[in-house]
């Protein structure tokens, strides 16, 4: 290997992926391991080991880190990772810079996904777009006027915790009635267990809806109605050109997106509907890997 490579690290509470890319964003190799419990040192050592193996001794051109938790992209510090005690104030950019001798960019995963979709996916060519993860939780990343908008405390885009039902379902964050308590994978699983129709997960729900099960389709329409409220709120505030949705929307496609678009249209003033596109993530289920690539400083 002699061509320059970019290293992308997708750092989550359950798994960590390390990938190499060409500078124009073609993924070459990928390794993944279960996130080790305990202090960050073990995970950092494993990341460095896998990175060196993939790079075959070469220094990377740049390194991107997408982290599943609050972090400070300016200082290059992970503030915390949910469900991973011991990951507090980890200066990951400095550690990786020392290990590989390359510049490091870090971003929280929802923002990193937004940047990747904007550069390489369904957001290409747009100036104002909102990305929502729809997986176990709901996170958001905002591209405004062509740039990621992080907010004063790097917390902008927590769209999953807007309240859509006052006094509603309890949310993992401690509040009630959050969008995440109605339309995330976790919330969907809870709704399905209450309905007791023999479907346990969002994935099973999508499979059953695809095979034509009318009850499964109705459940997806119910989820679309909640999601539409959250999305309409974002459109009224930000007036974006595109809304791009991850994981569950990628798997469900129009089974979710068709009722969602109808419902969003119903909630919005006609002026807001002009050119508004609600799309599944263009990078599909590999978005997490490309998110890490997309935040490498080049």
Shortest approach of Zn ion to residue 171 CB, angstroms?
Answer: 3
Helix (H, G, I), strand (E, B) or coil at 130: strand
Q: How far apart are CA 190 and CA 181, in angstroms?
A: 9
Report the DSSP beta bridge partners of residue 130.
142, 243
161 is an interface residue for Zn ion by CB under 5 A: yes
Shortest approach of Zn ion to residue 180 CB, angstroms?
Answer: 5
Q: How far apart are CA 251 and CA 265, in angstroms?
A: 22
Residues in the chain: 298
Shortest approach of Zn ion to residue 56 CB, angstroms?
Answer: 44
Q: Give 83's DSSP letter.
A: T
Shortest approach of Zn ion to residue 159 CB, angstroms?
Answer: 10
Q: Which stretch binds Zn ion (CB under 5 A): 89-97, 166-174, 240-248, 288-296?
A: 166-174
Q: How far apart are CA 134 and CA 13, in angstroms?
A: 17
171, 188, 227, 287: which one binds Zn ion (CB under 5 A): 171
- Tokens 């100036």 belong to which residue? 127
Q: Which stretch binds Zn ion (CB under 5 A): 20-28, 41-49, 156-164, 221-229?
A: 156-164
Number of residues near Zn ion (by CB under 5 A): 5
Nearer to Zn ion, 171 or 244 (CB): 171
Nearer to Zn ion, 173 or 200 (CB): 173
Report the DSSP beta bridge partners of residue 17.
10, 32
Q: How far apart are CA 276 and CA 23, in angstroms?
A: 32
59, 173, 200, 285: which one binds Zn ion (CB under 5 A): 173
Nearer to Zn ion, 122 or 181 (CB): 181
Tokens (6 digits) for 159? 């769209």
Report the DSSP beta bridge partners of residue 280.
245
Q: Draw the binding track, 178-197, toward Zn ion (x: CB under 5 A; -: no contact).
A: x-------------------
Contact residues for Zn ion (CB under 5 A)? 161, 171, 173, 175, 178
């Amino acid at each position: 290997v002699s061509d320059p490579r970019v290293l992308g690290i997708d750092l989550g509470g359950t798994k960590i992926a390390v990938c190499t890319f060409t500078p124009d964003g073609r993924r070459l190799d990928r390794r993944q391991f279960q996130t080790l419990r305990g202090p960050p040192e073990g995970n950092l050592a494993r990341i460095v080991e896998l990175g060196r193996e993939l790079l075959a001794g070469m220094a990377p051109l740049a390194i991107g880190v997408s982290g599943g938790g609050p972090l400070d992209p300016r200082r290059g510090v992970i503030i915390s990772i949910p469900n991973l005690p011991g990951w507090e104030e980890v200066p990951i950019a400095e550690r990786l810079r020392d290990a590989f001798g390359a510049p490091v960019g870090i971003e929280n995963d929802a923002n990193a996904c937004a940047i990747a979709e904007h550069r390489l996916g369904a957001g290409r060519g747009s100036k104002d777009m909102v990305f929502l993860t729809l997986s176990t939780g709901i996170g958001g990343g905002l591209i405004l006027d062509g740039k990621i908008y992080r907010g004063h405390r790097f917390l902008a885009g927590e769209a999953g915790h807007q309240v859509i039902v006052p006094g509603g379902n309890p949310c993992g964050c401690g509040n009630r009635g959050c969008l995440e308590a109605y339309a995330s994978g976790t919330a969907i699983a809870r709704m399905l267990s209450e309905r007791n129709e023999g479907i346990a997960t969002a994935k099973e729900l999508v499979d059953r809806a695809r095979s034509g099960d009318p009850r499964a389709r109705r459940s997806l329409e119910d989820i679309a109605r909640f999601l539409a409220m959250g999305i309409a709120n974002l459109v009224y505030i930000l007036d974006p050109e595109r809304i791009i949705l991850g994981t569950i929307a990628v798997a469900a496609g129009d089974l979710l997106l068709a009722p969602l678009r109808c419902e969003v249209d119903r909630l919005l003033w006609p002026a807001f509907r002009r050119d508004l596109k609600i799309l599944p993530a263009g990078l599909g289920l590999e978005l997490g890997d490309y998110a890490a690539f997309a935040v490498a400083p080049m």
